[in-house]
Structure formats: C-alpha cells, structure tokens
C-alpha cells in the first residue's frame, strides 16, 4: 500500500482480521470480512441488501485500510504486530484515526461489539502451543503500570444505538465485556494498552463475528457478505458517533 496525500478532513480506520484456526476453520471469517471491505466507506445511498437507514450526520471521506495479511493466531504475532500497527507511516498511512479488530467467536452466534480487553488469565494455548508472558517478575513482562482491564474510550452505548438503527431488527447485535481471554481479547488489550502507554485516547473497537465453516461455499459467502455489511455499518456508526458530540468516558453506561 503506497502512501497518499491525505485531505485534512479525511479519516482513516485500520482494520485487522485473523488467519486460519486449526483444522476446524481453514478459513477465518474475520479475515474474509475484513479483506472484503471497500477502500472507502461507501455513501449511504449505495445499494445494500441489509442497510435500512441513512446517516443523519454528514461524514468526511473515511478511508478503510485493511492490514495486508491475516493476523496469525498466536500471542507472539500479536505482540510483534500491534506496536508497528500504531506507528505513523505503517502501511503507508500517515495517521490512524481509529482501529477496528475483527475476530471469530466459535461460541457466539451473534455479532458482538466488545467493550474491554483483559491483561491477565490467558489459559488457552495458541497455534504454537504457547501462552503469553503473564509473569510480572520476568524481565520482558510488557504490562508494568498497565491496568488489568482497559476499556475503549469510544462511546460504545451511542455506537451501538446507531449500529442497530442501520440494520434489520432480526440481526443479533450485542455489546459484551468479556472478549474471551484468547487471541481476540489479547489483540484488543494490546491495542488499548498501546494507546494507554502512549497517553493517547483509546480509539479502538473490537467486533466478534460468528464462526462459519467454509462449506457449503454458498452459505459461507452469504455469511461473509452479511458480515461485511455489518462491519461497514459499524464503521459508519463509529465515525458518526465521534463527529456528533462530546467525547464520553470509558465508564459510560451501556
């Protein structure tokens, strides 16, 4: 991805998805959804099979930059990636305004906007059969001075209201405070902690999407198409919420 001259009012959202997970999921819907997103947030009058309401907020151009490859389902891959991801100039992006991580939830059949990430209590090994460093006494422990939980500083309550209003009522759209203590939780916490340590506003979101097996192919593709529209409307809701009014604290009522 080459760099571009970014108009002053253009916003940039960086999106990630995860790679295959064991034999059960040779294709990860989180990556297939992320990698299918358009380069820019489409106008509200663009054709859509699921979007039902238009925006009441005038939006600037919103560039969607998808990390060029799926994140491997290992703690070490996340630890290596996240500091780079937030560095100015990464992937040709001069400034990242927001980050959306997308992950697959094998136990959830709905689309879930996560509120917070956890530092501790990771007991599930990754694809390399390893756990993250959770020993504060070790020399390379990364979280000294970082709270055990970090919440996003986006207005989740307002975002959810906008998100729900844009999609059919039969879709299950939820907010959660338990991202699962596995790689999804870990990448979310790492992004939040990166902002926290840099004394920056925690402008990060995490979307859990349902697990779907790649066969039959037509059913899988329908799920990806739906997930893409849901992700687009979430991105739109985030930007609308951010532009609509004053920022709120992370403890705002859901």
Full pLDDT tens readout for the chain, 254 residues:
333 444 458 999 999 999 999 999 999 999 999 999 999 999 986 555 455 555 567 899 999 999 999 999 999 999 999 999 999 898 888 889 999 999 999 877 899 999 999 999 999 999 999 999 999 999 999 999 999 999 999 999 999 999 999 999 999 999 999 999 999 999 999 999 999 999 999 999 999 999 999 999 999 999 999 999 999 999 999 999 999 976 554 443 33
CATH number for the domain that contains residue 27: 3.40.630.20
Q: What is the DSSP code (8-state) at residue 106?
A: T
pTM for the full model? Answer: 0.90
pLDDT at 2: 36
Alpha helices in 120-213 (DSSP H): 156-165, 183-197
Angle subtended at Cα 85 by Cα 119 and Cα 95, rounded to the nearest 5 degrees: 120
Angle subtended at Cα 95 by Cα 91 and Cα 98, rounded to the nearest 5 degrees: 95
Residue 124, classed as helix, strand or coil, is coil
Tell me, yes or no, whether 22 lies in a domain. Answer: yes
Q: Could you tell me the residue range of the domain that residue 52 belongs to?
A: 11-244
Tell me, yes or no, whether 254 lies in a domain. Answer: no
Tell me, yes or no, whether 123 lies in a domain. Answer: yes
E-only strand ranges, the chain: 11-16, 62-66, 98-105, 111-114, 116-118, 149-151, 173-176, 204-210
Tell me, yes or no, whether 239 lies in a domain. Answer: yes
Tell me, yes or no, whether 131 lies in a domain. Answer: yes
The side-by-side arrangement of strands in the sheet containing 98-105 is 62-66, 11-16, 98-105, 204-210, 111-114, 173-176
Tell me, yes or no, whether 5 lies in a domain. Answer: no
Tell me, yes or no, whether 55 lies in a domain. Answer: yes
Number of domains in the chain: 1
Tell me, yes or no, whether 129 lies in a domain. Answer: yes
């Amino acid at each position: 991805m080459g760099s571009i001259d970014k108009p002053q009012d253009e916003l940039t959202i960086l999106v990630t998805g995860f790679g295959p997970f064991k034999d059960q999921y040779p294709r990860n819907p989180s990556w297939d959804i992320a990698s299918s997103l358009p380069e820019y947030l489409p106008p509200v009058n663009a054709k859509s099979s699921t979007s039902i309401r238009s925006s009441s907020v005038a939006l600037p151009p919103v560039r969607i930059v998808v990390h060029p490859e799926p994140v491997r389902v290992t703690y070490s891959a996340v630890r290596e990636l996240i500091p780079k991801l937030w560095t100015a100039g990464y992937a040709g992006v001069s400034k990242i305004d927001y980050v959306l991580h997308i992950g697959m939830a094998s136990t959830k059949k709905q689309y879930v906007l996560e509120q917070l990430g956890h530092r501790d209590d990771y007991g599930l090994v990754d694809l390399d059969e390893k756990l993250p460093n959770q020993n504060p006494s070790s020399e390379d422990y990364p979280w000294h001075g970082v709270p055990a939980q970090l919440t996003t500083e986006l207005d989740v309550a307002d975002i959810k209201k906008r998100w729900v209003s844009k999609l059919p009522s039969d879709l299950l759209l939820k907010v959660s405070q338990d991202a699962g203590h596995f790689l999804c939780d870990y990448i979310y916490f790492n992004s939040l902690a990166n902002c926290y340590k840099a004394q920056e506003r925690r402008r990060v979101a995490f979307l859990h999407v349902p697990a779907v097996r790649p066969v039959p192919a037509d059913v899988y593709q329908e799920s990806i198409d739906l997930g893409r529209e849901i992700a687009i409307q979430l991105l739109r809701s985030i930007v609308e919420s951010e532009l609509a009014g004053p920022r709120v604290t992370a403890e705002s009522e859901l």
